[in-house]
Amino acid sequence: MRRSLLSAGAALLALSTAPAMADFTGGKVRIGVLNDQSSLYADITGQGSVVAARMAVEDFGSKVKGTPIEVTFADHQNKPDVGSNIARQWYDTDGVDVIVDVPTSSVALAINEIAREKNKVFLVSGAATSDLTGPKCSPNTVHWTYDTWALANGTGSAIVQTGGDSWFFLTADYAFGHALERDTEAVVLKSGGKVLGKVRHPLNTADFSSYLLQAQGSKAKIIGLANAGGDTINSIKQAAEFGIVAGGQNLAGLLVFISDVHGLGLQAAQGLIFTESFYWDLNDSTRAWSKRFAERMGGRMPTMVQAGVYAAVTHYLKALDALGSDADGKAVVAKMKETPTDDPLFGKGTIRKDGRKLHPMYLFEVKKPAESKGPWDYYKLKATIPADKAFRPLAEGNCPLAQ
C-alpha cells in the first residue's frame, strides 16, 4: 500500500516536472545488445540477436513518442569481468537504458546486480539460470525466453510419461550443468522415474566415448545430456557412432538450440528430444517473421534466444510508449509486468512478479532425414506445455519479490 502510494507520488512528480513532453534520458532510447559474438554461443545469440533487436525497433517505427531508438552491441567474450565492465560503462556514460540478451549465466548474474544498483533495465534472453527469477531476482530484470527449470521440467516429465523412466546423466562439470542435472533429476524422480547414474565431464571435452560407454553400461533407457553447445553436439555425434541409439537407448538434450541441430545434421541428430520455447515453423506469424530474419542473416533461421530478444525489446518499447519515460528502470519493468505481452513470436503472455515471462514451452523431436521437406525443416512438435505449467511456480523460487 505504502509502496503504491509512493510510486503514485513518483509518477505525479514525473508528470509535474515533464508535463506533455516525453522524458527520455539523453534524448534517445538506447538498447544495448550484450552477448557472445566470437565464441561458443555466437551462433545461438551473437549478431542474430542484434538483428532481432533492430527488427523490433524498426517494426515499432524506430521512434517512441518522437524519440529516436538506437541499437548498439558488444561482445562480452563469456567473461563476467569484461561483461560487467561494458555494462557499467554503458549504463553510466554511454546512455544505454536497457541491456538485452546476455548468454552465459555468470555474466548475466553480474549484470543483474549492476542493473539493480543503477536502476536500469535488464532483459535476459540468452542466459539459462533460473536463479535470475529465484534468489537473485530483481525488480529491474525480466527473464524472457527459457530457464534451466523450464527445460528440465519439459523434457524430464514428458519423457518419463512416455516410458523413459530410467536415466543416466552426462553432465558438464559447471554450475549450469549441475543446475540442469539437479532440476531434471528432481522432475524425473517426481514423475516416478529413477536415476541410475551420472558422470561429470570437464567443459569443452572433445571425446565422449568413455562417458557414453559408462552410460551404455548403466542400461538406462534415457541418457540425459546436461551440457551445452559443442559438448552436446559431440556427445550426440559420438553416441550415433557407438551405436547407442541403435542399441535402444535414447538421448535427451536438456539444452539444445536449432543451430546445434543444424550443425549436427539430421543424420546424427534424428530422434533427439528436447524442449524449446520457439520454433520458426510453429504458425503463420512465426514463419513470416523468421523468413524476414533469415533474409538478413544469410538464410539462418532464428534460435529461440534471438526470437526472445525481438519479443522482449518489443514489449519494452510498448512499456516506454505507455510511460513516456525511460528514466526509472524499476518503473519501466513494473509497467512491463502490468501490461500483458503480445507479439508475433510467443503470442499472448504475461510477466510474473519475479520477472519470469510466462509462455508455453514445446517438446520437440528431431525429424528423420526422410521426413524433412527442406532446409531448416527439423522439428516435430510432440507436446505443448501450457504457460502456467511450463515454469517454476512462483512460491518455489525463493524470490524476495514474490513474498
Bridge partners, 34 (sequence order): 74, 101
Decide if residue 15 touches other proteins (CB under 8 A): no
Give the number of C-alpha atoms closer than 13 A to the C-alpha of residue 141, restricted to the C-beta side.
30
Decide if residue 233 touches other proteins (CB under 8 A): yes
For the residues of 48-59, what is the DSSP string, one character each?
HHHHHHHHHHHH
Among 24, 60, 169, 174, binds other proteins (CB under 8 A): 174
Among 18, 59, 95, 242, binds other proteins (CB under 8 A): 242
Contacts to other proteins from residues 244-263, by CB under 8 A: 247, 259-260, 262-263
d(CA 337, CA 318): 12
d(CA 127, CA 145): 9
Among 24, 29, 31, 37, binds other proteins (CB under 8 A): 37
Q: How far is the CB of 269 from other proteins (least distance, A)?
A: 9
Q: How far is the CB of 243 from other proteins (least distance, A)?
A: 6
Contacts to other proteins from residues 79-138, by CB under 8 A: 79-82, 84-86, 88-89, 92-93, 105-106, 109-110, 113, 129, 136
Mark 39-78 with x for binding to other proteins (rule: CB under 8 A) and - for no binding: xxxxxx-xx--x---------------------xxxxxx-
Mark 327-366 with x for binding to other proteins (rule: CB under 8 A) and - for no binding: ----------------------------------------
Among 122, 149, 167, 176, binds other proteins (CB under 8 A): 176
DSSP SS3 for 66: coil
Query: Does residue 195 contact residue 215 with C-beta atoms inside 8 Å?
Result: no
Q: How far is the CB of 42 from other proteins (least distance, A)?
A: 4
d(CA 380, CA 387): 20
Using CB under 8 A, which of the segments 143-151, 234-242, 323-331, 383-391 binds other proteins? Answer: 234-242
Decide if residue 384 touches other proteins (CB under 8 A): no
Q: Which set of grid coordinates corresponds to residue 339?
A: 501490461
* Helix 329-338 / helix 2-17 crossing angle, nearest 10 deg: 110
Using CB under 8 A, which of the segments 3-11, 228-236, 273-281, 307-315 binds other proteins? Answer: 228-236
Identify the residue whose cell numbers are 549478431.
Answer: 47
Contacts to other proteins from residues 151-170, by CB under 8 A: none
Per-residue HEC secondary structure of 259-309 comes to: HHHHHHCHHHHCCCEEEECCCCCCCHHHHHHHHHHHHHCCCCCCCHHHHHH
Among 62, 161, 162, 210, binds other proteins (CB under 8 A): 210
Q: How far is the CB of 2 from other proteins (least distance, A)?
A: 26
Q: How far is the CB of 202 from other proteins (least distance, A)?
A: 4
**Rounded to the nearest 5°, which phi and psi values hold at 355?**
95, 0
**Rounded to the nearest 5°, which phi and psi values hold at 105?**
-55, -40
Size of the site for other proteins (CB under 8 A): 74
d(CA 278, CA 308): 8
Q: How far is the CB of 172 from other proteins (least distance, A)?
A: 10
Q: What is the largest CA-CA distance in the chain?
A: 72
Nearer to other proteins, 375 or 386 (CB): 375
List Cβ neighbours of 132 (8 Å cut-off, separation of 6 or more). Answer: 108, 109, 112, 124, 138, 141, 143, 147, 355
Among 125, 155, 184, 238, binds other proteins (CB under 8 A): 238
Q: How far is the CB of 66 from other proteins (least distance, A)?
A: 27
Nearer to other proteins, 76 or 392 (CB): 76
